[in-house]
A and B are shown apart, each in its own frame.
Chain A
Amino acid sequence: MLIFTLRRLNLFFFTMLLLSILSFSLSFLFPGDPLINLTGQINATEQELVVLRESYDTDLNLFQQYIAYIAHIFNGNLGLSMSSQTEISSDILAVLPATIELSLFAFLLATLIGIPLGFIAAINHNKTIDNVILSIAMIGYSVPVFWLGLFAILIFSITLGWLPSSGQISLLYEIEPITGILLFDILLSNSEYKWQAFQNASAHIILPACVIASAPATIFIRLARTAMLSVLNTSYIKATMAKGLSFKQIIIRHALRNALIKVVQHVGLQFANLVTLAMITEVIFNWPGIGRWLIESIYQRDYTAIQGGLLVLSSFIFVVHIITDYIYAALNPRARELRHGS
């Protein structure tokens, strides 16, 4: 396990190094003055600029400038947004929880729907139900997410009027952000309309979460199905059959656990994919998360925000990857011995 951890740390360190170099070089690649791009100080006076140059070591060589930049980042200073002149770090902290909330919800939805369906398909291998599930998975995987989002709004919001089309919660409710995860904040708040707010927020999350979940869920179906089929073909399952256990017992006691282990490894990899989908979906559903914020920043040519946002978002996805690697290693001792990270 120690070797495994060291390997992961090594990977983490070098990936972060590359990411930060990329982010740092962006300020030179964007049009305009690199220092302004890095700090977002568009209204700085001459004296302020002198202080800034000092703190970012702009008169030294590139390597030292990079070190100064890293020092600023470790102090939580990502500069100011060019369009609103607010701290980017606080902006990101305000929008990131909404994305995490939506992604987690979608992720849960995808696993709870996808994996059982995949197992059902495998158990009924080559029967009608297997083919139906596989066809659904194929369709779900092929539909582009932005089209699905708009289509869902058209059907469920506009035509049927069941669910709201945008935002995180109706603006009627005033909820103080404590954790940033809205559903928790509502439960922690002392608003007299607490339960309606909760209901309202739940209604708001359903559509975007379902849209995001559609693609990963179909992948999970196929993963779970393949995993289950390979487990059912192993000799130990054949042995249990020979012992005369009932099919139900075989599945529940022996096959499920072993198939799940195979699935977990790939589930983590899907998370990066899911966050990408979440970004697109946030724009469509006007969800106040980091994806919408980042796309808004790109649209406004807010270079400082783009750099900070990309750095934070990619680090976040990377950290999630490493965590899933760990969970997989904990579940499957044999994985720790493998040479390379997945």
Chain B
Amino acid sequence: MKSYFRTIMAFLGVSILSACDVANNEQLSQNSLIYCAEGSPETFNPQLVTSGTTIDATANQIYNRLISFSRKDNSISPALAKSWHVTRDGKMITFYLRKNIAFHQTEYFTPSRTLNADDVLFSFNRILDKSHSFHYVSGGSYPFFQSVGFSDIVDSIEKINDYTIRFKLNQANSSFLANLATDFAVILSKEYGDKLSIMNKKEQIDILPIGTGPFKLKSYLSGSHIRYYKHDGYWNNEVAIEQLVFDITSSNTARLTKLLTRECDVIAYPIAQEQIIDHPHFILDEVTSFNIGYLGFNTLKPPFDNIKVRLAIAHAIDIDAIIDTVYSGLAEKATTVLPKSSWAHKKNTAFTHSKTRAKQLLNEAGYPEGFAMDIWAMPVQRAYNPNALTMAKLIQADLNEVGIKVDIVSYEWSTFLRRLRLGEHSSVLLGWSADHPDPDNFFTPLLSCAAASTGSNRTAWCNEEYDSLLQLALQTTNIAQRTNFYHQAQAIVAKELPLLPIAHSKRFQARTKKVKGQLLSSFGGINFAEVTKE
């Protein structure tokens, strides 16, 4: 009985002691920001991925690029390069770097010099040059760059002096600068790469990253959290947040709960948006994204190698119901991969929801009794698809009515992506968020032959006529001509239907009113560089 009493007293004592530190605690939570993210990053190097989760976690936090998109009007603006010059024929582009840009100093690396042209060469040659000592580290796949045909565009990169870099292109390319301004074209540290080569730990460059960005990595535990500390010598602005933590919470409900209990300051992809708007302490941010959510067919696997089967499925699915249910009506129905706001958009009215038409097509294709198929549904929420599982269930019900049995498959996100790359799926609910405003950024990564071999084209569809139209569109800067080429390309996609476009959505996030600043942009990942907290 006595010891029972003692335990209680000890516990009370601890509580009283800890109350002395409340002021101290306020300071800690004021200098720190916790962001509830929806999934774990696959790597810490954006060059290697196209997944938005990874880009959110790494691109704008750890790294910078030569140029970036201005947040006001999406025009291209200076970043690590203070200015650039393009020759009249469009084949030579020279970048002039800023001086005194410091790399991160961490427990695993201390830089001895600031950024110079060698780092830029190192970062791009790693992608372009197959004999580069880092090219095959982490698998040698650079999906974004391979999908835009970066190595075909760039002839060579040369260092003019320590702060001047010149890109020579094989031909003028109207989307080249936009590609360099995307979240994927980050600048790594050559000095760090050299040090890792000596230590024979090259793969570390993508696991323990060093960049010039506003935050440096402190620790990472997969599925649990990422901890960043402020980069004291950040070149662009004084960073207000001392400690930035990504709390990895894959469940929608858990993220919302953490916002309500103030365990997170900002949460990704919130559910119950109306309630957040009505809540006095929270703000719902939304940004119109350039994206597309789609159902992709693996065109190498029967029966999806048959155009009629793909068309039948398109007619069987009620997209309006999906938009109401999955996107709560907050999305634009997609008829082609491009959103309406793009200048190259061409409306397509071929797919009306019609079960009789679907059954007729199945008959013609030789499947009067239907067949069984898999739909792979993403386990995470993305802007273009807030709830793939629900969407899969709706599609399952629709297809069941025309005799197609659907089995829904889902894995943890990194496993899911790995298996997709292996082409194990027969159909998949996925999407694409654009990295820059140029329409090429939809057509090439999603459906070109180059992307089919590197993986961001999950349909494995490869059409030479379509590819040549994309090439022609890139070789000119005349908008009328480009529009014409892209319209023809969209007509081919509508006829062949390697993927069924479903919706273009908005990206949402919720935050407490204490957090000030702009985190979201129409392109690319979230950015905490200029965020403040009261």
Contacts and interface: CB of A to CB of B under 8 A. Distances in A.
A in complex with B: yes
Interface of A: 83-84, 112, 153, 157-158, 161, 164-167, 170-172, 174, 192-193, 195-196, 198-199, 202, 286, 288, 296, 299-301
B24 A198 contact: no
B28 interface: yes
Nearest to B22: A196
B225 interface: yes
A90 B92 CA distance: 53
Nearest to A153: B257
A219 B72 CA distance: 64
Contacts of B25: 193, 196
Interface string B102-126: 0000000000000000000000000
Contact of B243 (A161, A164, A172): A172
B227 interface: yes
Contacts of B219: 174
A84 B245 contact: no
B56 to A, nearest CB: 17
Contact of A166 (B14, B29, B222, B263): B263
Contact of A158 (B218, B224, B257, B414): B257
B263 to A, nearest CB: 6
A199 B34 CA distance: 19
Contact of B29 (A165, A172, A192, A296): A172
B257 A83 contact: no
A286 B249 contact: yes
Interface SS of chain B: mixed
A196 B24 contact: yes
A300 B415 contact: yes
A83 B21 contact: no
Contacts of B223: 296
Interface in B411-462: 411-412, 414-415
Contacts of A157: 257, 260-261
B17 A165 contact: no
A202 B14 CA distance: 10
A202 B243 CA distance: 23
Given A195-B21, A196-B24, A198-B14, A161 B34 contact: no
Given A161-B261, A193-B24, A300-B412, A171 B245 contact: yes
9 contacts: A83-B412, A158-B260, A165-B258, A165-B261, A166-B258, A167-B247, A174-B219, A195-B21, A300-B411
Interface string B213-230: 000001100111101000
Contacts of A171: 34, 225, 227, 245, 247
Nearest to A82: B415
Nearest to B225: A171
A328 to B, nearest CB: 21
Given A171-B247, A195-B17, A195-B21, 9 more contacts: A161-B261, A165-B263, A193-B24, A193-B25, A196-B21, A202-B15, A286-B254, A296-B412, A299-B412
A172 B25 CA distance: 10
Contacts of A174: 218-219, 227
Interface of B: 4, 14-15, 17-18, 20-21, 24-25, 28-29, 32, 34, 218-219, 222-225, 227, 243, 245, 247, 249, 254, 257-258, 260-263, 411-412, 414-415
A153 B218 CA distance: 31
A198 B18 contact: yes
A65 B27 CA distance: 59
A44 to B, nearest CB: 15
Contact of B18 (A112, A158, A165, A199): A199
Contacts of B262: 161
Closest 9 CB pairs of A and B: A195-B18, A199-B18, A171-B245, A300-B412, A157-B261, A196-B25, A165-B257, A165-B261, A158-B260
Contacts of B17: 195
Nearest to B263: A164
Contacts of B15: 199, 202
Contacts of A170: 34, 263
Contact of B32 (A166, A172, A198, A301): A172
B267 to A, nearest CB: 13
A30 to B, nearest CB: 16
Contacts of B32: 172
A84 B261 contact: no
Contacts of B257: 153, 157-158, 165-166
A174 B249 CA distance: 18
Contacts of B28: 172, 193, 196
Contacts of A165: 254, 257-258, 261, 263
A112 B5 CA distance: 11
A227 to B, nearest CB: 18
A83 B29 contact: no
A165 B20 CA distance: 24
B35 to A, nearest CB: 10
Contacts of B18: 195-196, 198-199
B218 to A, nearest CB: 8
Nearest to A160: B261
A166 B255 CA distance: 10
B263 A167 contact: yes
Contacts of B222: 84
Contacts of B247: 167, 171
Nearest to A170: B263
A14 B30 CA distance: 57
Nearest to B11: A202
Nearest to B34: A171
